[in-house]
Structure 1
Amino acid sequence: MTKIIHLLTTLSLGLATGLAQAALNEGSNAPDFKTQASLAGKSFTYSLKDALRKGPVVVYFYPSAYTNGCNLQAHTFAEQLDKFSAAGASVVGVSLDSIDRLNRFSADPDYCAGKLAVASDADGKIAKAYALSVREAAAGRKDTKGQDIDHGFAERTTFVIQPDGRIVATIGNLAPVANVQKALEVVRGLSGKGS
């Protein structure tokens, strides 16, 4: 009985604090967004609507540049970008990092390698539009470069969006590399270009 009470208390606390918030599901319309982004260290205005005119888009939300899992995920997307392009899709990462931080991250050969566009959602509005939870960084949290992290974290979730704006896959609860591989599998399924 004590275990059941503890479980119910934990669940109700999670619901009350928004931790149990669910991401938008397959079949939902993807909220459009326009924001500052960076590619190879250069800022530009990213528009989801414009990107969808060219084909499917993989929008992946990640907690923070220069953190272990996010570094690995960005590096893996950058390494696999040619495969996404061959299947007709583009990829953009979205985090609550500042555009200055993303300029460095996007150009870093160990992470985005000048290939992968990453967009700034500094106020978390884009993540929240996709029904993702956003939490504040713990005080004193440092990144892998030893710098303070002074922004919130969106939960790691990837959306594959068709050109009509409909979400065809919501990918969460996977390790960074598995997340990228699942997104590639979905995109290849859309294009009919298998592995």
Structure 2
Amino acid sequence: MAVESGKPVPDFSAPATGDTTVTLSALKGQQVVIYFYPKASTPGCTTEGGDFRDRMAAFEAANTVVIGVSRDGLRAQENFKAKQDFNFALISDKDETVCRLFDVIKLKKMYGKEHLGIERSTFLIDKAGKLAHEWRGVKVAGHAQEVLEKAQALDAASASAD
């Protein structure tokens, strides 16, 4: 079953950089941005990750954790994170468990050939673990800033409700 807007996101655990495991339920009480990218160390994915990295202080101020996900192995994710100095975890989703939960595996065309790959997508989960916002078929330019603004607005709304 894939995630639905306004509904709780099913819990998952996945291997991540830094010899850690990311478990969604362990992040309750914080907002979570999960962004899916096609491949580590490619130009668009490097730019997107850098845009999130450069806004981490603002995400943290909005009580928001950022996590990147691709089907790359842990070594590729570790190298990507280290080389780009990313200040957030990258999940290695080789078995596509997290990708399928968020329904981001799509039929894509490259050089006239069809293959299944990750559609660049981002999800914002609220402090209670519900899907607050989703972006699919993302264009990198300006995206991290748009996600940050939604996270800040959601955090402000939840703070005034508390």
Residue aligning to 1:11: none
Residue aligning to 2:67: 92
Pair 1:154-2:118 in alignment: yes
Query: RMSD in angstroms over aligned alpha carbons?
Result: 2.3
Residue aligning to 1:142: none
Runs of 5+ unmatched residues, structure 2: 158-162
- How many percent of aligned residue pairs carry the same amino acid? 28
TM-score when normalising by structure 2: 0.84
Question: Contact 2:49/2:86 (CA < 8 Å) preserved in 1?
Answer: no
Pair 1:75-2:50 in alignment: yes
- Larger RCO, structure (CA 8 Å, separation 6 or more): 2
- Matched letter for residue 156 of structure 2: G
Residue aligning to 1:51: 27
Deviations 1:13-50 (A, max 9, x none): xxxxxxxxxx7442132222111111xxx221111111
Alpha-carbon distance in structure 2 between the residues aligned to 1:28 and 1:64: 29
- SS of aligned partner of 2:19: strand
- Residue among 113, 131, 138 paired with 1:174: 138
Change (3 A) 1:52 1:135: farther
Runs of 5+ unmatched residues, structure 1: 1-22, 140-151
TM-score when normalising by structure 1: 0.71
Question: Contact 2:16/2:22 (CA < 8 Å) preserved in 1?
Answer: yes
Question: Contact 2:6/2:131 (CA < 8 Å) preserved in 1?
Answer: yes
Query: Structure 1: which 4+ aligned runs deviate by more than 4 Å?
Result: 134-139
Question: Contact 1:124/1:134 (CA < 8 Å) preserved in 2?
Answer: no
Alpha-carbon distance in structure 2 between the residues aligned to 1:60 and 1:114: 14
Deviations 1:43-89 (A, max 9, x none): 21111111224x10001111110111111001111111111001110
Question: Contact 2:31/2:125 (CA < 8 Å) preserved in 1?
Answer: yes
- Residue among 83, 102, 115 paired with 1:130: 102
- SS of aligned partner of 2:141: helix
